[in-house]
Structure 1
Amino acid sequence: MTQTAMSRLVTPPELTDGTMRIVPLGGLGEVGRNMAVFELNGKLLIIDCGVLFPEEHQPGVDLILPDFTYIEDRLDDIVAIVLTHGHEDHIGAVPYLLKRRADIPLVGSQLTLALIEAKLTEHRIKPYTLTVTEGQIERLGPFECEFVAVNHSIPDALAVFLRTEAGNVLHTGDFKMDQLPLDGRITDLRSFARLGEEGVDLLMVDSTNADVPGFTTAEREIGPTLEGIFGSADKRIIVASFSSHVHRVQQVLDAAEKEGRQVALVGRSMVRNMNIAAKLGYLSVPEGILVDIKNVGNIPDHKIVLMCTGSQGEPMAALSRMANKDHRVDVGSGDTVILASSLIPGNENAVFRVINGLLKLGAEVIHKGSATVHVSGHAAGGELLYCYNILQPANVMPVHGETRHLIANARLAADTGIEKQNILVTDDGSVVDLVGGKARIVGEVDCGYVYVDGSTVGEITDADLKDRRILGDEGFISIITVVNRSTGKIVTGPEIHARGFAEDDTVFDEVIPKINAALEDAVMSSNDHTTHQLQQAVRRVVGTWVNKRYRRRPMIIPVVLEA
């Protein structure tokens, strides 16, 4: 039987010397917020520290962080943070952890560290970094780390192989097996085979596309599609992608050059990341092809391409603002918009809202569902089967994905002959111990969402978000009343105001007598009543009336003053 996370919080046993403990603090049951903590002999190693982007039911939230509670009293025990690649869901939370201890060493590839260093500059943090390349081995406390090249949708991605006295762990990070990548850097299956021969006691493997059969389409197949679209477009072309997708930007630059167009990068993160990639040699920029967004108005529409952010419908990103006519770029009839990315689960409504807005403006919108303008950066089921057969791990722990992805990955592992009791389907906060070649779920730790809301971190709770949803969906009603302390008679009011509920406050005329009666009863029934009790009486009356009369549940704020 497959090991699964426990349904209730079970405190894990005390960790003994020689046993390695693995605690994922994000990335399981969700696509984002990836972070795993490895503990051995009193020292901690962290692999990845990313963010999750909010969904519609989390209004006002900017970012969601891993819950650092598990390690907040042990920051001095952290020997390093190893970053597998430079996507936000793997590096975005690093500034928030370094604000607690700024000298935690960051270990990663050249591009990954360059991207996080630029981000940390905005937070006024100068990190300690160690640049590593594939094949390199580094000792980080009790962990010997060997780095292995893997192919992903961003250059310079790495898998991490941990050699310890408790056993060997291979963490793949995000990866796929594109055999003809644009940069020629393939997933190093020769090293995978060598590590398999050495022995992989626990494989922590990317699950995002585990439920997709076959193999991921090669990145280079997008090039001809883009060239065809660019060649047939009569006016402006707007391409939206992730701001870190160097390969996609490279293909846009190549297609634009071939069709005699210039390219403007739109969005602060897009400009920053592509400048870094070009400076380090990961992006080849043809001479004279880039123009500043400020000068786009001087270039004929059929000679310009805009490369922007906002492919996930982010409200403040460039593409969303264009769809809302809140951007210097005025999208109109005849323009072609290409969404060169896949939908992150949870973003569907936001993306479709942007698509609909662009269509209303007269633009033609091309996306993954209508043309090959995006391929995934994650291994599909067939590729994962190859990994299991090459590595032949003793234990498997699917990571990076929603529950359906983790379970699909577990089934693939079982299909290759791995014993079901050695397959661990876990949640964020699950505690896994590895010793003597055996991995077991031994408990759970409290692990919730930490919300970034403007300049505040962790101060917004789920209860606050519930209040925001109620205000947004149902509106609110305030009732202000002054009563005579002795008689319970109304001195002033009830004065009722509503927002987002009814345009005309006269709708409340029929409930005012009910409020008066409830207050008089509450005052006369008890000589030692409190203001809170009177307010609760008003809330019950108004709440019951609104629910029966309008089938609504607005936020009700009663204020009762005694005179």
Structure 2
Amino acid sequence: MSHPHPELGPPPKLPQGGLRVTPLGGLGEIGRNMTVFEYGGRLLIVDCGVLFPEEEQPGVDLILPDFTSIRNRLDDIDGIVLTHGHEDHIGGVPYLLREKPDIPLIGSKLTLALIEAKLQEHRIRPYTLEVEEGHRERIGPFDCAFIAVNHSIPDALAVAIRTPAGLVVHTGDFKMDQLPLDGRLTDLPAFAKLGEEGIDLLLSDSTNAEVPGFVPPERDISGVLGQVFAAARKRIIVASFASHVHRIQQVLDAAHEHGRRVAFVGRSMVRNMGIARDLGYLRVPAGLVVDVRALDDLRDEEIVLVCTGSQGEPMAALSRMANRDHQIHIVEGDTVILASSLIPGNENAVYRVINGLTRWGAKVVHKGNARVHVSGHASAGELLYFYNICKPRNLMPVHGEWRHLRANAELGALTGVPKNRCVIAEDGVVVDLVDGVARITGKVQAGYVYVDGLSVGDVTETSLKDRRILGEEGIISVFVVVDSTTGKIVGGPYVQARGSGIEDGAFASVIPKMEEALSKSASEGVADIHQLQQLVRRSVGKWVSDNYRRRPMILPVVVEV
């Protein structure tokens, strides 16, 4: 699961003066971003995020990077650099700090404020170092310079890491919006200077490498939101990521212009927008934002609700509204705006929510029928421009699925990076920068670590397979009592099915088959409980397969008396 390189073994000892780069998440997937840099026996981590589960991972809340390869080296970690405050870059930090709470966190003001609020829930008080663009900090043997980049959240930073092995630049997530809402441009002159100095290895965002041209400016959305607000006759409900401060600012501006009040719905939305407002990243006119409990005093045409759930998350506010499992009920004439893109893998969940909302009479506005979202990631045109400025000697695409990584590598090759210097790795694959050349040298464990409630890492692929079988095929339980001496049946078999689509009465025809098999085994002197359970499982399984073409989970219980 962690890599398709079965020929690779553990990496050799890092050569003297070399730099090792080990991605533990974010390559071959959208999310779970985490990269470990090693020089001189010391470690620097860039980002530590989470991945959200898909339908084939039932019951899972979050997916973490696998810390196995660094777990016995926690004392070697000099810091965790956080490029920005999105969950796929900071959501895994609490789980790493549980293992060593004093690892320093380095990031911008907003990024640190968001992670500190999250860590409070885990009762962890971190050691933090606030930086901003233009700052340069020594973190162990790593000389780190921070560069402003434009993204869909304020205060995003790229990091340039200098060691005697060379200059490495990690872009984080970025785009080149030339008309950003906060006026904070991606600092191309800073990248050009680094290019002149000589970038030995560039780790670059790949998310939109397949998309031609340039990403439209964020401010293009304002006009579309204005049109939607002008046409709405009842409540407006906007679903967005709880960290998308720029998008929420546009919603607030549109609400203010059209005489509406705004209420934030959902714990993470309330928390993050409160932080952004307190730090000055969100401009809120006096009296515009009200508590959700004050909505009863307002007419429908005066209300805007801002909530989470734009990705169809089952427990998020919007999904619960669509299922009529929320205090806010969707009614005929409401307008719902999904102000985000679809993360790959979430399509079915999102369309299920859209259908649920439409069923209750809402008009749903989304990226497919209106420009209510622009991406926070550079498209192919921007990446080409960026590579011509940076002129990297080696390129390692990051943050993307396989198709994104390959497309990004091809863009680098077009701008002059030698093809053998465009290193396509994925989670767990180790890349060493030695004598100015980046090469894959080995692999480490980098599988999925599942969070299920309070359980971290206890859910395995085997248990997920069991959950999928239970969800898709159901369960059949069989209870039999046998004589401990003779092995003959003295009670049962009793059969019960749940979710298998087979009526309990239908099992009358399989009971004689089980009795015959158990009697035969008793006559042959077989009395081992495990063997008898396997015999019951095979008998029932064959009967179900022959008659129903189904493969439910079969749970045999054999008791001796």
Q: Same fold (TM over 0.5)?
A: yes
Contact 1:181 1:220 in 2 (8 A): yes
Compared with structure 1, are the counterparts of its residues 5 and 510 closer, same or farther at alpha carbon in structure 2 (3 Å cutoff)?
Answer: closer
Contact 1:263 1:304 in 2 (8 A): yes
Matching residue of 1:75: 74
- RMSD over aligned CA atoms reads 1.1
| Aligned equivalents of 1:45, 1:16: Cα separation in 2 | 18
Bigger shift: 511-520 or 483-492?
A: 483-492
State the SS of the aligned residue for 1:537.
helix
Contact 1:236 1:303 in 2 (8 A): yes
Matching residue of 2:297: 298
Matching residue of 2:249: 250
The 5 Å alignment of 1:246-395 reads: 246-395=245-394
Matching residue of 1:512: 511
| Aligned equivalents of 2:560, 2:65: Cα separation in 1 | 47
Bigger shift: 116-125 or 7-16?
A: 7-16
Q: 1:557 aligns with which of 549, 555, 558?
A: 555
Contact 2:486 2:527 in 1 (8 A): no
Shift of 1:172: 0.1
| Aligned equivalents of 2:252, 2:542: Cα separation in 1 | 62
TM-score (norm 2): 0.98
The 5 Å alignment of 1:44-83 reads: 44-83=43-82
The 5 Å alignment of 1:188-267 reads: 188-267=187-266
| Aligned equivalents of 1:521, 1:194: Cα separation in 2 | 83
Shift of 1:402: 0.7
| Aligned equivalents of 2:316, 2:174: Cα separation in 1 | 27
Matching residue of 2:490: 491
| Aligned equivalents of 1:373, 1:467: Cα separation in 2 | 40
2:539 matches 1:535: no
Contact 2:249 2:283 in 1 (8 A): yes
2:409 matches 1:396: no
Shift of 1:446: 1.3
- Show CA shifts across 1:355-395 (max 9, x none): 01000000000100100000000000110001111111010
| Aligned equivalents of 1:122, 1:433: Cα separation in 2 | 37
State the SS of the aligned residue for 2:212.
coil
Q: Which amino acid in 2 is paired with 1:398?
A: P
Shift of 1:41: 0.4
Matching residue of 2:24: 25
Contact 1:176 1:377 in 2 (8 A): yes
| Aligned equivalents of 2:516, 2:161: Cα separation in 1 | 72
Contact 1:5 1:426 in 2 (8 A): no
2:132 matches 1:137: no
Q: Which amino acid in 2 is paired with 1:145?
A: C
| Aligned equivalents of 1:8, 1:233: Cα separation in 2 | 59
| Aligned equivalents of 2:54, 2:396: Cα separation in 1 | 27
Q: 2:542 aligns with which of 529, 541, 544?
A: 544
Contact 1:9 1:446 in 2 (8 A): no
Shift of 1:217: 1.1
- Show CA shifts across 1:14-66 (max 9, x none): 11321111100000011000000000001000000000111111111111110
Matching residue of 2:94: 95
Contact 1:212 1:380 in 2 (8 A): yes
Shift of 1:487: 4.6
Q: Which amino acid in 1 is paired with 2:116?
A: E
Shift of 1:529: 3.9
State the SS of the aligned residue for 1:398.
strand
Shift of 1:552: 0.8
Contact 1:538 1:558 in 2 (8 A): yes
Shift of 1:11: 1.3
| Aligned equivalents of 1:373, 1:120: Cα separation in 2 | 32
TM-score (norm 1): 0.98
Contact 2:51 2:62 in 1 (8 A): yes
Gaps of 5+ in 1: none
Question: Structure 1 runs of 4+ off > 3 angstroms?
Answer: 484-489
Matching residue of 1:442: 441
State the SS of the aligned residue for 2:219.
helix
Contact 1:5 1:430 in 2 (8 A): no
Shift of 1:9: 4.1
Gaps of 5+ in 2: none
Shift of 1:561: 2.1
| Aligned equivalents of 2:559, 2:304: Cα separation in 1 | 63
Contact 1:266 1:307 in 2 (8 A): yes
Contact 2:15 2:434 in 1 (8 A): no
- Show CA shifts across 1:189-238 (max 9, x none): 10110000000100000000011111111100000000010011000000
- Show CA shifts across 1:226-261 (max 9, x none): 001001100000000000000000000000011111
Matching residue of 1:185: 184
| Aligned equivalents of 1:96, 1:489: Cα separation in 2 | 53
Contact 1:359 1:365 in 2 (8 A): yes
| Aligned equivalents of 1:275, 1:528: Cα separation in 2 | 68
Shift of 1:541: 0.9
| Aligned equivalents of 2:548, 2:216: Cα separation in 1 | 52
The 5 Å alignment of 1:34-45 reads: 34-45=33-44
Contact 1:28 1:427 in 2 (8 A): yes
Shift of 1:324: 0.7
Matching residue of 1:150: 149
Shift of 1:490: 2.1
- Show CA shifts across 1:399-421 (max 9, x none): 00111110111111111121111
Matching residue of 1:464: 463
Shift of 1:504: 2.8
2:12 matches 1:13: yes
- Show CA shifts across 1:138-182 (max 9, x none): 011111000000000000000000111011100000000000000
- Show CA shifts across 1:238-295 (max 9, x none): 0000000000000000000111111011111101101110111111001110010011
Q: Which amino acid in 2 is paired with 1:264?
A: A
Q: Which amino acid in 2 is paired with 1:142?
A: P
Contact 1:21 1:432 in 2 (8 A): yes
